[in-house]
Amino acid sequence: MTDTHKTRVTRLRAELKRQKLTGFFVPRADEFQGEYVPEYAERLRWLTNFRGSAGVAIVTLKKAAIFIDGRYVIQVRQQVDEKIFAPFHLMEEPPAKWIARNLKKGDRLGFDPWLVTAEQAKRLSEACAAVGASFVPVDSNPIDAVWTDQPQPPMVELAVQPTQFAGRTAAEKLKDLRKGLGNVDAVVLTQPDSVAWLFNLRGFDVPHTPVVAAYAILPAKGKAQLFIAAEKLTAEVRQHLRSIATTHAPKDIGTALRALGKAKARVLIDPAWTSERIRALLAKAKATLVTGPDPVLLPKARKNRTEQEGARNAQTRDGVAVSRFLCWLEREAPKGGLTELDAAENLKAFREVTGELKDLSFETIPASGPHAAIPHYHATEESNRKLGRNEIFLVDSGAQYIDGTTDITRTVIVGTPTAEMKDRFTRVLKGMIDLTMARFPKGTTGSQLDILARQHLWSAGLDFDHGTGHGVGAYLSVHEGPARISKSDRTPLEPGMILSNEPGFYKQGDYGIRIENLVMVHEAKTVTGGDRPMLGFDTLTLAPIDRRLIDVALLSDAERKWLDAYHARVLKEVGDHLAGDELAWLKKACAPL
C-alpha cells in the first residue's frame, strides 16, 4: 500500500516538473463541490489513501502535507503514510499557513480551477502572493496524467421528479426565481442540488444523494441553458425540459460564458460554491460579476406545502421501519452475537419492505460501546464489533424516498445502563426537547437557539463537538444549506425549513449518545398577550426514545409532558401500521413515563 502511494507521489512530482510547477494543491472535490465525490474525482484518496469525507493535500517537489479536520485526526494516521504526507489540522494549521512557511519567492503552486471555489482560490492566491509565490490554475490536472486506471465519470440517466411531489413545476420555479433577480441579467448555478431542485430532476451519479451534476445558466429573459452529458437525458427528461431549457455538452459552458461577456451581462455567481474556472472565464470575457448567495438556496430550503406533506408521509413510513427495527433489536441483541453490520443490514431490510426505499440517505452509522463515542464512525468488516451486554448501541441512519429524505439517531441500551449513562442520556434528551419546544421571533438564527440543546450538558461541565442541527432536503441532500443550528450560524430560520435536532454526548473509549429528530419550522400560535409573530418547530421524526436510559427525576414537568405526548403520537401514527408482537412492543416503548 505504502509503496503504491510512494510511487504515485513520485510520478506526480515528475509530472509537476514537466508542467513547470513546484507543487500542486489537491482538494477532495469534483467540479460541483458536493459532499459526495464520484470515483473518478477521488484524487485525494488515490494519491494519499485518505478515505475521509473532507481533506486537502499539498505536494511540492520536496514536501507533502495532508490537512484534515478534527473528525479525522486518528483516521489519517491509520490510512496515510506519515513518512510521505505530514498531517495538519485543517482549521488550526490551514493550508494558507503551511504555504506561508513552506513556499518561497518564485514558487508555482498549481491547482485545478474546476475543483477549487472562487473564494478558496482568492484566499490561497493571497497566501502565495504574501511569500512571492503564485497559485497557478492548470489546464489539465497533473493527477489525471499519472492516474492510469482512473475511472470514467458516471453516466446514469436522470429521473423527472413529478410535480405531485415537487409541488411546483420547473417552469413555475424558474418564473419565481426570475422575479427576485433585480438588475441581474443572468445567474450561473453550479450546485448540483440547486439544479436538481429548480428543474425538478434527480440524478444518480453518487450514492445516497440524488443531485444532478450539471451547470445551468438562467438568463433574466429566455430559456435556461443546462450543461449536462447527453447520455444522461432520457426521452422523458428531454420532453420535460423542452419548454424551459436548452441542453448542451458540459464542455460548451466556456462558449456560453464568453457570450455573456460579449453581451456585457451582469452575471450573478456564488463565490462560495462556484468554481474558480467559471469565475475566471466570466472575468476574462469582461462580464460584470455580481456576487451573492445562490438564489435557489432559500426557496429550496423553505419547503412548499407539497414538500411538507411529502416529508410527513416519508417520516411516518420511515418511523414504521425504524420502530420495527428497534423492536427486533430489543429482542435479538440480548441474545449476544449480533454485530454492528448485522444491525445495519436489518435496519435497511425494514426500510426495503416499505417498497418505497430509493436509497439510504447516507451510510448507516451502527456504533456499539466505545464506537458510539466517534460521531462519524464508519463500520467496516475490520472494525465490526458485537453489541455487548450492558453497553450502549447508537444507530444514526436515514432514507431517501421520492417524497422525502429522513435522518434519525436512536441510542439504546442492551441490558442495564449505569447511573452515569442515564444522567448523560437524560441531559442530551432534555436539550433535544427544550430546543423542540422553543418559541422564537422571526429573524432568529440557529446560533441563537443552539444553547437550548447544550444547556443541561454545560451545567454539568460537558459539551459535544459537532453542530446541533443541519438542514435536510426534499428527496435531495441529507445535509442541506443554508440554515443550521450551531454555535456560529447566521441564517434566520424560516417557516418550511427542515432541520435536524441532534445533540449528543461522547465519552472517549467508553460510550456515546445522540438523539436526533427532524423538525420543521412553522408559524407558532399567537401567545395570549404576545404582540409579535413567533416561530416554532414541529417534530417530523416518529420512533420511540429508549425509556430505560431516562432518569425521570431529571426531567422538568414540561419536558416529561412533551415526551409523553410525543410517544403517544408515535404510538398512534406508527402503531396504525403495526400488529401483533410489534404493536405490543410499541405500546410498551411508548407508555407514559
Contact string (CB under 5 A) for Zn ion, positions 343-382, x = contact? ----------------------------------------
Q: Which residue has the cell 500500500?
A: 1
Cβ count near 213 (within 10 Å): 25
- Cα angle for residues 425, 428, 431 (degrees, 5° grid): 150
CB of 92 to Zn ion, least distance (A): 25
Closer residue to Zn ion, CB minimum distance, 519 or 571: 519
Task: Report how far residue 413's alpha carbon sits from residue 367's, in angstroms, rounded to the nearest whole number.
Answer: 12
Closer residue to Zn ion, CB minimum distance, 135 or 511: 511
CB of 16 to Zn ion, least distance (A): 40
Identify the residue among 396, 450, 480, 582 touching Zn ion (CB under 5 A).
396
CB of 467 to Zn ion, least distance (A): 9
Strand partners, 536: 522
Closer residue to Zn ion, CB minimum distance, 8 or 351: 351
CB of 516 to Zn ion, least distance (A): 5
Rounded alpha-carbon distances, angstroms, from residue 489 to 40, 468, 524: 33, 11, 22
Strands in 408-414's sheet, in edge-to-edge order, are 365-368, 391-397, 408-414
Residue 308 binds Zn ion, judged by CB under 5 A? no
The answer to whether residues 437 and 562 touch, using CB atoms and an 8 Å cutoff, is yes
Closer residue to Zn ion, CB minimum distance, 375 or 496: 375
CB of 514 to Zn ion, least distance (A): 8
Closer residue to Zn ion, CB minimum distance, 125 or 500: 500
Task: Report how far residue 42's alpha carbon sits from residue 65's, in angstroms, rounded to the nearest whole number.
Answer: 17
Closer residue to Zn ion, CB minimum distance, 396 or 434: 396
Amino acid letter at 301? A
CB of 210 to Zn ion, least distance (A): 17
CB of 497 to Zn ion, least distance (A): 14
Closer residue to Zn ion, CB minimum distance, 214 or 449: 449
Q: Which residue has the cell 410525543?
A: 566
Q: Which region, left, alpha or beta, applies to residue 121 given φ > 0 means left and ψ of -120 to 50 means alpha?
A: alpha
Task: Report how far residue 504's alpha carbon sits from residue 435's, in angstroms, rounded to the nearest whole number.
Answer: 13
Q: Is 447 helix (H, G, I), strand (E, B) or coil?
A: helix
Closer residue to Zn ion, CB minimum distance, 281 or 322: 322
Closer residue to Zn ion, CB minimum distance, 33 or 500: 500
Q: Which residues 430-469 are close enough to bind Zn ion by CB under 5 A?
A: none
Task: Report how far residue 9's alpha carbon sits from residue 3's, in angstroms, rounded to the nearest whole number.
Answer: 10
Contact string (CB under 5 A) for Zn ion, positions 488-527, x = contact? ------------x---------------x-----------
The answer to whether residues 212 and 189 touch, using CB atoms and an 8 Å cutoff, is no
Q: What is the CA radius of gyration of the chain?
A: 25
Residue 426 binds Zn ion, judged by CB under 5 A? no
Total residues in contact with Zn ion, by rule CB under 5 A: 5
CB of 470 to Zn ion, least distance (A): 6
Where does residue 459 rank: exposed (0-12), middle (13-18), buried (19+ CB within 10 A)? Answer: exposed
- Binding piece for Zn ion, criterion CB under 5 A, among 134-142, 389-397, 441-449, 555-563: 389-397
CB of 519 to Zn ion, least distance (A): 11
Q: Is 99 helix (H, G, I), strand (E, B) or coil?
A: helix
Closer residue to Zn ion, CB minimum distance, 405 or 409: 409
- Binding piece for Zn ion, criterion CB under 5 A, among 210-218, 269-277, 396-404, 438-446: 396-404
Task: Report how far residue 352's alpha carbon sits from residue 317's, in angstroms, rounded to the nearest whole number.
Answer: 11
Closer residue to Zn ion, CB minimum distance, 274 or 409: 409
CB of 407 to Zn ion, least distance (A): 4
- Binding piece for Zn ion, criterion CB under 5 A, among 27-35, 305-313, 391-399, 446-454: 391-399
Residue 407 binds Zn ion, judged by CB under 5 A? yes
If you write DSSP's letter for every residue of 186-233 in order, what string do you get? EEEE--HHHHHHHTTEE--SSTT------EEEEESSS-EEEE--GGG-
Contact string (CB under 5 A) for Zn ion, positions 287-306, x = contact? --------------------
Rounded alpha-carbon distances, angstroms, from residue 46 to 40, 41, 69: 9, 9, 19
CB of 479 to Zn ion, least distance (A): 7
Closer residue to Zn ion, CB minimum distance, 198 or 399: 399
Task: Report how far residue 263's alpha carbon sits from residue 285's, in angstroms, rounded to the nearest whole number.
Answer: 10
Closest by CA to 201, choosing from 234, 152, 154, is: 234
CB of 204 to Zn ion, least distance (A): 22
**What does the binding site for Zn ion look like in residue numbers (CB under 5 A)?**
396, 407, 409, 500, 516
